[in-house]
Structure formats: C-alpha cells, structure tokens
C-alpha cells in the first residue's frame, strides 16, 4: 500500500478512521438557504456525494473543510470542530476544488507543493523534500521549477491533488476531481486514490466515478434526499434526473 509523507511530523494526528459528524448544518448565501439542516455521520472509507447543479455540494464541501463556519450546526472530524480549529483541520481534511485556479497561490510548482507542508510545521528543507517526493510519485519532477501559469488546466488540477496528497490528511474531499483530465491521468489518479488509506469523499456528476464506493449521498436543494449503498442511492437519483430531464425542469432557477 502506498504511504504519503515519510516525515514523522507529517503523520495524521488522529485515527484515520475518525468519523465525520454533521449536526444540524444549515447555511445561507446571499440570503438564500443553501444547506437546510444536514445530519450525517460518515465513517466509510469511500463516500460519494451527488446532486443537481446548485444543490449545495460545493458549499457543503467548504463547510466540511472548515472554510465556512455554518450559520447553525457544526462539523467535527474525530471530535474536532473544523471551523474552530483551523490548524487541526489541515491534518484532518484536504480539499481538491473543481477549479484549480481558486486553490493555487504560488508562482511555481515547487513553492505550491511546499506551502502546505510548511503550514504543517515542516522546515523549508523538509517541505522541499516532500514536494520533490510527490513530484517523483507522479513522474513529474520536470515540473519542479515550472511557472504554474505554464501548466494547462488539467495539469494545474493534478498539481492541486499532489499538494493535497502531500499533506496526508485523514479525509480527502474531491469536488469533480477528474473533470478536464485525460484518460491516463485520470487512471493514475484513481489508482493513487485507491491506494491511500484516508477516507475519500467525492462529489461527482459521473456515477461511474463511484464504482466500488461504500456509500452515496444524494443532496437535493440543500437537504439529504437519499443516503445508502451506491446502487440504491444512484438508482433513485438517476431515475429522478431522467424525470426532471423529461419534464424540462429549469436547472438554473
């Protein structure tokens, strides 16, 4: 099995099987209720999250990562409130957002990869070594000194995933992780994700991306509409999507 992070300080500070708990999570954006009271206990290794455009998935991802404190309710991972303890949250959950440009802050690949490791308390040399190690795993050592602006959108996406993996969080949250990636890169990422020990929570519109998953949650208008084994949740979800498509339900209300 692959391991990420050889440095002792990079080890996960909590048991990797620590559950994610959402209690009464509600949140509004611009006066609109986007999350409407979500209660979940997530302890499976591979969990999928599906739902129509605008159903609240990405907002829920931000709340799960502690990047937004919900208006009411709380999210804890292994008992730690991720919105209150941001430092601990870095080790607990790493997020790969849909758009890499919302995530990348440094001009070069090496600096971007090293940043998260320094945030975990690693020295400059340790972080540089960790960044190189991650580039080697993906056969991308040649990217080291490259300017991020010279990478394609898909390559920037891969860089963000490497940055998340390098930090060895207990939970990896992926928002449409394979959009814009070519087939070999997608397969490489899937293999990599299958090999990592932590829990993976994947937001996707592609049911096949959830093959082999333990549990799938369907979010609809900010509420959990179905939750259970993938084949059950996805059957309900896909049937409803067909109905909505036939009825021409407005996607962009």
Ligand X SMILES: Nc1ncnc2c1ncn2[C@@H]1O[C@H](COP(=O)(O)OP(=O)(O)OP(=O)(O)O)[C@@H](O)[C@H]1O
Residue ranges that bind ligand X, judged by CB under 6 A: 29-30, 34, 51, 53-59
Give the nearest distance from C-beta 23 to ligand X in angstroms. 19
Residue placing its CB nearer to ligand X in the complex, 53 or 149: 53
3-state secondary structure (DSSP) of residue 69: coil
Give the nearest distance from C-beta 202 to ligand X in angstroms. 13
Residue placing its CB nearer to ligand X in the complex, 53 or 147: 53
Residue placing its CB nearer to ligand X in the complex, 51 or 198: 51
Integer CA distances (angstroms), 5 to 76, 155, 173, 218, in order? 24, 22, 18, 33
Give the nearest distance from C-beta 40 to ligand X in angstroms. 16
Nearest to 111, CA basis, from 153, 149, 144: 144
CA 27 to chain centre: 19
Give the nearest distance from C-beta 203 to ligand X in angstroms. 7
Give the nearest distance from C-beta 137 to ligand X in angstroms. 29
Q: Is 39 left (phi over 0), alpha (psi -120 to 50) or beta?
A: beta
Integer CA distances (angstroms), 64 to 16, 83, 111, in order? 16, 8, 26
Phi, psi of 27, deg, nearest 5: -155, 140
DSSP helix, strand, coil percent of the chain (3-state; round to 5): 40, 25, 35
Residue placing its CB nearer to ligand X in the complex, 58 or 103: 58
Residue placing its CB nearer to ligand X in the complex, 102 or 212: 102
CA-CA distance, 113 to 138, in Å (whole number)?
A: 13
Give the nearest distance from C-beta 49 to ligand X in angstroms. 9
Residue placing its CB nearer to ligand X in the complex, 2 or 29: 29
- Residues in contact with 60: Cβ distance below 8 Å, sequence separation at least 6, in sequence order: 25, 35, 38, 49, 219
Is the separation of the CB atoms in 160 and 115 below 8 Å?
no
């Amino acid at each position: 099995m692959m391991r990420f992070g050889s440095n002792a300080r990079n080890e996960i500070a909590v048991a990797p099987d620590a559950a994610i708990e959402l209690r009464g999570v509600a949140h509004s954006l611009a006066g609109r209720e986007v999350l409407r009271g979500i209660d979940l206990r997530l302890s499976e290794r591979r969990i999928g999250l599906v739902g129509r455009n605008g159903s609240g998935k990405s907002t829920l991802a931000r709340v799960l990562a502690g990047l937004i404190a919900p208006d009411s309710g709380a999210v804890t991972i292994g008992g730690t409130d991720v919105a209150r303890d941001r430092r601990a949250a870095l080790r607990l959950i790493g997020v790969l957002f849909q758009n890499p440009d919302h995530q990348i802050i440094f001009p070069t690949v090496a600096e971007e990869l090293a940043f998260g490791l320094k945030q975990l308390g690693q020295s400059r040399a340790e972080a540089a070594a960790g960044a190189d190690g991650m580039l080697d795993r993906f056969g991308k050592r040649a990217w080291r000194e490259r300017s991020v602006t010279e990478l394609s959108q898909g390559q920037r996406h891969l860089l963000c995933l490497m940055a998340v993996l390098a930090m060895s969080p207990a939970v990896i949250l992926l928002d449409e992780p394979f959009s814009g990636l070519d087939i070999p890169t997608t397969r490489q990422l899937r293999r990599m994700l299958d090999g990592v020990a932590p829990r993976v929570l994947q937001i996707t519109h592609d049911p096949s991306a959830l093959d082999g998953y333990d549990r799938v949650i369907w979010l609809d208008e900010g509420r959990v509409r179905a939750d259970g084994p993938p084949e059950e949740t996805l059957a309900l979800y896909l049937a409803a999507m067909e109905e909505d498509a036939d009825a021409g339900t407005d996607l962009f209300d």
